[in-house]
Structures are given as structure tokens and as C-alpha cells.
Chain A
Amino acid sequence: MKLKEIVKELNLKVITAKDSLDKEVIGGYASDLLSDVIANSKDSNIWVTLQIHQNIVAVASMKNLSGIILVNAREPEKDTVEKAEQENIAIMASNLPAFEVIGRLYALGICGKKQC
């Protein structure tokens, strides 16, 4: 599934890297502990978090994640937005809490393991 389909289905607000939405999403990962994301997320995962610090962009870039969904309508910091534009990492925001966002992603067939 492509990022843009997820944006549409979950009604996400795209904050950065609007032209990166053709990226393919393969599975997802949810964590607010960035060291854990570095250790356990997989290539092309979509990442669900509430962290808005600029390090989220570096982690997404390093792990080649397809994009970041911020929950609870969290707004990224200015330097986070700038870094994300530079690195072409899509940051998308949802008004929903993490539990709902992840549930909806799962219902779309995005899972944490190879197969749902």
C-alpha cells in the first residue's frame, strides 16, 4: 500500500515531504522510545509515535521508514519540519490517539509482522 492511500483512508494531515507519498508501506511499527525504533523497525515500515523531536527524522531516514504518523494532533517542532523536508521524510498527523491509528492501519492490512 502507498503512503497516499493511508493518508486518504486515515484522513491524515500531511505536514512534510508532500511529494514523497508514492512511497510503498510495508508493515508498521509503533514506539515512542527511539532506541527501540532503531533496534526493531523494518525497512519501509510506517512509524506511529508521539515524539516530535527532530531525532525522529534521523531515525526514520536511517531505518528507511516510509513515513511517520504523529498521534493526538501533535505538531512537530520547527527544526523537525526542516529536517524532514531535507531528508524527504513524510510526517503526517492524526487527531486520533495511537490506539485508534494503529487499529485503523491494521484494518487496512498494515501489520507489525510479515503477515497479519
Chain B
Amino acid sequence: MLKEFIGDLHIHTCLSPCGDKDMVPTRIVKEAQNLGLNFIGISDHNSVENIFAVKKVGEKFGVKVLGGIEITSEEEVHILAFFDEDWSLVKIQEIVYENLGNEENDETLFGEQLIIDENDRIIGKNRRFLIGATELKVEEIVDVIHNLDGLAIAAHVDRESFGIIGQLGFIPKELKLDAVEVSKKIQNSKFKIQNLPVVSFSDAHRIEDIGKSFTTFFLEEVTVNEIKKALLNQDGRGVI
């Protein structure tokens, strides 16, 4: 049966150097539950290493968690990717790390990159320069995401820095994005940018920002495939 699902797919954990230290699985999921979100997405910069912990906590609290990643392209454009399958997350991680270079994070300058378990315990630190750019161009990133059955969304296109329109002037016509994200909540689901469906999510780096922007989807269940159908208005699915 089709019904409404409210989701905020763009949430960082304490793994992102710019993410608050209290962006830990239990706090994130509880906040989402308190706000009445049906699902959330975890999308740290260039890394998926905290997703599995958040997924476990999500299951406990009845909040669906989609695993994702916010990839920085060579042009310094941020692309969000979400996947249903854990193997896709593992694979995208491999590809991103191969293309991220060998520079190390300087945590005094950029912030700590904490890896945590489902009990919010710190189990390690990521040493890579996660805030850096990969050597993948936007077209390659979108192709890789789709080859792994993922959802590709250009992040915060309403922002100058790291948004695709700010960096590249406009969205390349050939780029097969599934949607574009704006940071501010928009009310009109008919609104499109360069003919692409528009969604809005919070890009939360702090607990209090979770759910500040969200999108309501009409779906059978929360999966990447269902969301893709909704973005295309297929089979009765849609964005509300």
C-alpha cells in the first residue's frame, strides 16, 4: 500500500570532520524519531564507515536508515549517493578511497573523524583527508552510483560553494542525476531545476539541524528504487 514517508537524507555523523561530536547513532536516530521522520539518510564526506552503526540503531527505534555518502568530485562538486545494499556501499567506498589521494587529515585544522559503534562508543579515527576532493569527475561519479543501483543527487545546488551550479555554472545536460537537493525547504513539488526533480534535506552537521529541511515521498516502502520511481512520478509514487 502506498503511503507518505517523511525523510531527511542528508545527515552527517561525527565521522565528517565538520560534523559535531555528538552526531552519534543513538542521538541522531532519537532526534529523527522525536521529529516524526520516517527515514533518514547518512551521508558523510567521502566515507561510509559510520553507516552500519546508525543502521543498527535505526532498526531498534523503527527509523529506516538509508546508507549513503557525499562524494566530492574533481570539480569540487558534492554529489549525494544512496544505496539499499551494503555491498554497494562497500564498493563505492573502495572507489572513492582509490581516488581520494594519500593526504592525511589534520584534525586540529579540519576536525576529528570519529568512527563509532552502535553504542556510540568511539572505536577509531579515520586518518584520510575526507574533506578533500576525489579525482573523479561528476559524470564518472553519477555513472558509478548508477552502476551500483544507487540514487544520485546533486547536493545543495542553491549554495555557491560545492554546489554544482556554483562550481560548474550550470548542470551539464548529459549528467543523469536523479534529483537536485536544495538546502531550504521548498513547498512546491512541481518546482524543477533544469528539468530535474527537486528535493530538500537538512545537510545537518549538528543534532538541532536534523529535519530542518525534509521531503515527503509517496511510496510503498523506503527503498532507493521506490524513491527513484517517486522522483519520476511512476506507478503512483511521487514527491509531495
Hey, which bits of chain A sit against chain B, CB under 8 A?
Answer: 33-35, 37-38, 51, 53-55, 58-59, 77
Q: Report B70-113 residues with CB < 8 Å from chain A CB.
A: 74-75
- Which residues of A have CB within 8 Å of B138? 53
Given contacts A34-B166, A51-B168, A53-B137, 12 further A-B contacts (CB under 8 A): A33-B160, A33-B167, A34-B168, A34-B170, A35-B160, A35-B167, A38-B169, A51-B75, A53-B75, A53-B172, A55-B168, A55-B169
Interface residue SS majority, chain B: loop
Contacts of A35 in B (CB 8 A): 160, 165-169
Q: When chains A and B are docked, how far (Å) is the Cα of A61 from the Cα of B85?
A: 43
Bound Cα distance from A51 to B75, whole angstroms? 7
Residue in B161, B168, B170 whose Cβ sees the most chain A Cβ within 10 Å: B168
9 interchain pairs (CB within 8 A)?
A33-B167, A34-B166, A34-B169, A34-B170, A35-B168, A38-B169, A51-B75, A53-B75, A53-B137
Please provide the chain B residues from 141 to 165 with a CB less than 8 Å away from any CB of chain A in the complex: 160-161, 165
What separation, in Å, do the CA atoms of A53 and B141 have in the docked complex? 13
Contacts of A51 in B (CB 8 A): 75, 167-168
Q: Is the CB of B166 within 8 A of A33?
A: yes
- How many B residues have CB within 8 A of the partner chain? 13
Hey, which chain B residues are within 8 Å of A59, CB to CB? 169
Question: Measuring CB to CB, which residues of chain B are less than 8 angstroms from any residue of chain A?
Answer: 74-75, 137-138, 160-161, 165-170, 172
**Quick one: given A33-B160, A35-B160, A53-B75, are A58 and B137 in contact (CB under 8 Å)?**
no
The CA of A56 and the CA of B169, in the complex, are separated in Å by 9
Q: Which 9 A-B pairs have the closest CB atoms?
A: A34-B169, A55-B168, A35-B166, A38-B169, A34-B168, A59-B169, A53-B75, A35-B169, A55-B169
| Interchain CB contact under 8 A, B167 and A34 | yes
Rounded to whole Å, the gap between the CB of B236 and the closest CB of chain A is: 36
Main secondary structure of the interface of A (DSSP, over half): helix
Q: Which residues of A contact B161 (CB under 8 A)?
A: 33
Residue of B nearest to A51 (CB): B75
Query: Would you give the shortest CB distance from A87 to chain B, in whole angstroms?
Result: 14
Q: What chain A residues lie within 8 Å of B166 (beta carbons)?
A: 33-35
List the A side residues contacting B169 at CB < 8 Å: 34-35, 37-38, 55, 58-59
Residues in A with CB closer than 8 Å to B160 are: 33, 35
A53–B137 Cα distance when bound, in Å, is 8
CB distance from A34 to the nearest CB of B (A): 3
Complex contacts, B137 vs chain A, CB 8 Å:
53, 77
Instruction: Give every chain B residue within 8 A of A77 (Cβ-Cβ).
Output: 137
Instruction: Pick from B160, B165, B169, B170 the residue with the most CB of A within 10 Å.
Output: B169
A58 CA to B169 CA, complexed, in Å: 9
Instruction: Provide the residues of chain A in CB contact with B172, threshold 8 Å.
Output: 53-55
Q: In this complex, what residue of A is CB-closest to B165?
A: A35
Q: Shortest beta-carbon distance, A56 to chain B, in Å?
A: 9
Name the residue of chain A whose CB is nearest to the CB of B161.
Answer: A33
